Structure 1
Amino acid sequence: MELSIIGSGYVGTTIAACFADLGHDVVNVDIDEDIVDSLNAGHAPIHEPGLDELVEAHAGDRLRATTDYDAILDTDATFLALPTPSNDDGSIDLGAMKAAATSLGETLAQKDDTHLVVTKSTVVPTTTVEVIGPRIEEASGKTVGEEFDIAMNPEFLREGTAVEDFLSPDKIVLGAQSERAYEQLDEIFAPLVERAGDPPVVKTGISEAEMIKYANNAFLASKISLANDLANICKEFGVDSEEVLDAIGLDSRIGSAFLGAGLGWGGSCFPKDTAAIIAAARSRGYEPRLLQAAVDVNDEQPKRMLELLEDRFDPEGKRVAVLGLSFKPGTDDVRSSRAILLIDHLLDAGADVVGYDPVATENMRVHFPNIDYATSAADALVDADAALVATDWDEFAALDAQFDEMREKVVIDGRRIVTRRDGLDYESLV
């Protein structure tokens, strides 16, 4: 099929490249000319394992990019893959989505045949039906369900494994209002279903599909926070939390995924999505106490890590290495990274901070242009009084003799990845 994707961020670029790899002809529409030029030159605008190879393989053939909305006229379906950032109250900002819906509607006014519009961005229930659809109707003069259809196809992509997650999904969720929309969605996803070995396909309503995305992330965020809460209790009793969590993960009702206790969750999805669904619930008069507790536990983990450091010494005037700046390994994304909270506090306390990350240094430099950045973990440790491990990159597990270059040799491990050894004042957060 001929597909158009509006937006070329993590989701838009990934699904465009993957759809092209599945045999569809795809055009990315974006307002950023640099991103458009990068895609057309065969380079992904983001760091994501496997994505550069797909973009390079299909650019100029089944994948192209443009700033011109008229390219949509030659396509059968359009996916809206735009950011929905948080407002101050936690609700989502639909500014980019509304603007795109208006531009899309103005373009569809020129189109004679029907068109399918699929929301891919994470939006609260009723958004596609009550906001996106009517906005396209107003701009196009066409009617939903007659001259164009709307649908929702939530994404379940993890940064660092987004390509694999798309091409080998646990499930595919298709929300629509009409048989015509379902038929087009089936045609779009048929190559993926065949390649992935017939994963479950959930067909549901549009608002149900929107809610499935939030429920998915809310459950996982809560599971991590519960694991951290239990691990914090274990630490108070001198109990090995890793052994406890490994054991309960063997229970088929619980499962081992997302039981890794530590510094907590960050990134672009969990913080934004939990805040959004909490705000949405409150807007309807319901107080989601358990979800709020999950957020509260998550916010406390960096504070607990800093307290462990302050038990050793006052950070003022001390050189502290922060190892890992991205919110998780495998990505250069620093949005809501736990390292940001750590660095903020260290700077407020008068510490001399040096940061290191294999790929995320430049993105963190935007937040902290005046701290030192090392080119390797070993360099970051030289003359450091303490090291705080914020991200579980594999290379940190291999550190050993490099710790000998530290002054006071204090290591606080927020991800339980460094091996305890003689000569280190080592403590795991949990």
Structure 2
Amino acid sequence: MKICMVGAGYVGLVSAACFSDFGWTVTCVDKDPNRLADLKAGRSPIYEPGLDDLLERNIKAGRLVFTEKLGPAVADADVVFLAVGTPMRRGDGYADLSYVFSAVEEAAPHFNGFTVVTTKSTVPVGTSREIERRLKAKRPDADVAICSNPEFLREGSAIQDFTHPDRVLVGTDDDRARDVMERLYKPLALRGSPVMFVERESAELAKYAANAFLALKISFINEIADLCESVGADVQQVASAIGKDRRIGDKFLHPGPGYGGSCFPKDVSALIRTAREARAPVSIIEQVERVNHERKLAMAIRVVEAAGGSVRNKTIAVLGLTFKPNTDDMRDAPSLVIVPMLQERGATIRACDPQGRRHAEPLLPGIVWCDSADQAAEGADVLVVVTEWNEYRALNLEALKARMTGNTIVDLRNVFDADAVRELGLSYSGIGRGRLDAAKGEANAAPVQTALHSVEAAK
């Protein structure tokens, strides 16, 4: 089977590499000359564990090629995947489909024989039918079937997610297209991964609904973490307890500074816009978007409070800048809100990130860049963990303390053992574990006292 993958971004590149590893012939088309030069040389333009080896193996085997020429790749393909960007449109929060429709217009003259055209990009409900309408208008003679095949990949574990998915979702109402897609995903079906066939609108909406629900879980546990701090509970114990309930599950119940990345922010916004246009507003999801925005602001204020109420002329060591570990993606990362707020209040930022500097540097001017956590901690009044890279979990805290001028650690990911930090004489502020040691007992007692007063008043 021959595949044309339009777009060598995160989704397109990972998908192309994995399909070629199944034994299919994949031609990946992209317009960015610098990206193409890297890919043709076997260099990945993104950081994703395992991707470099996958690219090298399949390029060498001749199953994966990269080109800027769309026409020949489309003419030779059994399946054409549209994996171009659908960024959030400025002004209204809707998904920008201009790249999708541009790819369709360019591909239209080149279809040769029966071809399945499949959206891999995350697109609003109705996009498949709009693509169909446009193709019929431009090439009424073309024998094509339009499908929706959304991806459910997590950055940092995308290859594992592609090769061992919870499910493969295909939206189609064409029997021939179904046969092609069944053959395409047979290597996964043989491993026991379910391939689900649904209506196109259902597939398109399912992707948005899935991401919105996961964003909801993150915002939920973040608010529960705040409640834990007020009443003396430990959010990690609470999350573990409720996560054991199979109806809830333990994924995405890790409190932190809010969600970011290439998917959740734009997909939540696009779903809200779609729902409003359909006159079926999703008020819960609208609240999720608001809560997440305010969360990032609150985390910057938390650092200021931990520093004694002011960070002016203080040095803050920031560990991790990417929106999550095992990626170099800075899109909508909490650090893009937290760091500038601290800088505006007069702080000097010393930062490090194992993979994020290349993309973070132009977005966060004025930072002192460091090669390690030890270097970042040099002379720091406060040390802040923003991204939970595994290497930060095993840091020598005693060595960090020796390098720091101050004694405050703000752990926005709960990567450190709070008791171990405090035993070293450091002030520790985690998430859902109590903000400041000195205020903890008083804060814990306040809700109980308030409740008792309310009971007495009601008598």
Aligning the two structures, in what range does the TM-score lie when normalised by the shorter sequence? over 0.9
Q: Which amino acid aligns with 2:97?
A: L
**2:101 maps to what in 1?**
98
How big is the shift at 1:43? Answer: 2.1
User: What is the DSSP-based 3-state SS (H/G/I as helix, E as strand, rest coil) of the residue aligned with 1:36?
Assistant: helix
Match of 2:58 in 1: 58
> What is the identity, as a one-letter code, of the residue corresponding to 1:95?
S
Match of 2:394 in 1: 398
| Paired position in structure 1 for 2:198 | 204
| From 257, 260, 264, the counterpart of 1:266 | 260
Once residues 279 and 148 of structure 2 are traced to their aligned partners in structure 1, the CA distance between those partners, rounded to angstroms, is: 26
The reply on whether 1:246 has 2:240 as its aligned counterpart is: yes
* Contact 1:142–1:148 (CA under 8 A) maintained in structure 2: no
Distance in 2, Cα, partners of 1:345 & 1:333: 20
For 1:174 and 1:287, the matched residues in 2 are separated by 26
1:183 aligns with 2:179: yes
Residue number in structure 1 paired with 2:76? 74
What is the correspondence of 1:14-413 to structure 2 with a 5 Å cutoff? 14-60=14-60, 61-69=62-70, 70-88=72-90, 89-108=92-111, 111=112, 113-130=113-130, 132-142=131-141, 147-194=143-190, 197-311=191-305, 312-399=308-395, 400-401=397-398, 402-413=400-411
2:318 alignment partner, SS class = strand
- CA offset at residue 34 of structure 1? 2.1
Q: Which moved more, 1:403-412 or 1:77-86?
A: 403-412
Q: TM-score, normalised by structure 1?
A: 0.95
Deviations 1:9-63 (A, max 9, x none): 0000000000000010000011112222222222222110111101000115000
Residue 159 of structure 1: how far off its partner (Å): 0.4
Deviations along 1:398-419, whole A, 9 cap, x unmatched? 1212232111121111100023
Larger radius of gyration between Structure 1 and Structure 2: 2
- Tell me if the contact between 1:39 and 1:59 (Cα under 8 Å) persists in the aligned partners: no
Q: 2:19–2:26: 8 Å Cα contact kept in structure 1?
A: yes
Conserved 8 A contact 1:104-1:136: no
1:90 to partner: Cα distance: 1.1
Paired with 1:426 and 1:65, the residues of 2 have a C-alpha distance of 50
Which stretches in structure 1 are left out of the alignment for 5+ residues? none
CA shift at 1:313, angstroms? 3.3
Letter in 1 for 2:123: V
* Greater CA drift, 71-80 or 295-304: 295-304
How far apart in 1 are the matches of 2:384 and 2:100? Answer: 39
Which AA in structure 2 matches 1:269?
C
2:146 is paired with a residue whose SS is strand
Superposition deviation, residue 310 in structure 1? 2.2
CA distance in 2 between counterparts of 1:403 and 1:4 reads 54
Supply the AA of the counterpart residue of 1:142.
Answer: D
Q: SS of the counterpart of 1:330? A: coil
Deviates more, 1:32-41 or 1:411-420: 32-41
* Aligned mates of 2:340, 2:16 — CA distance in 1: 37
Q: Does the Cα contact within 8 Å between 1:105 and 1:138 map onto a contact in 2? A: no
Q: Structure 2 CA distance, aligned partners of 1:362 and 1:136?
A: 39
TM-score by length of 2: 0.89
Equivalent residues of 1:4, 1:77 under 8 A apart: yes
CA offset at residue 65 of structure 1?
Answer: 0.6
Give per-residue Cα distances to partners, 1:135-174, cap 9 Å, x unaligned.
223333435xxx1111010100000000110000000101
- 1:315 & 1:285 partners in 2: Cα distance? 46
Instruction: Measure, in 1, the Cα distance between the counterparts of 2:122 and 2:296.
Output: 27
Deviation at 1:308, TM superposition (A): 2.4
RMSD (CA atoms) = 1.3
Query: 1:238-290, CA deviations, whole angstroms, 9 ceiling, x for partnerless residues?
Result: 21111111111111111111111121211000111001100111122232111
Matched position secondary structure for 2:20: helix
Aligned residue type for 1:335: R
Amino acid corresponding to residue 285 of structure 1 in structure 2: R
Q: Is the 8 Å Cα contact of residues 352 and 376 (structure 2) preserved in structure 1?
A: yes
Given that 1:76 and 1:116 are in contact with CA atoms closer than 8 Å, whether structure 2 keeps it comes out as yes
- Aligned AA for 1:121? S
Partners in 2 of 1:307 and 1:394 — Cα distance? Answer: 26
Q: How far, CA to CA, are the matches of 2:407 and 2:379 in structure 1?
A: 9
Given candidates 423, 426, 429, the residue that maps to 1:424 is 426
Q: Match for 1:62: what amino acid?
A: R
- Does the 8 A contact of 2:185 with 2:195 survive in 1? no
Unaligned runs of 5+ in 2: 433-459
Judge conservation of contact 2:300–2:339 (CA < 8 Å) in 1: no
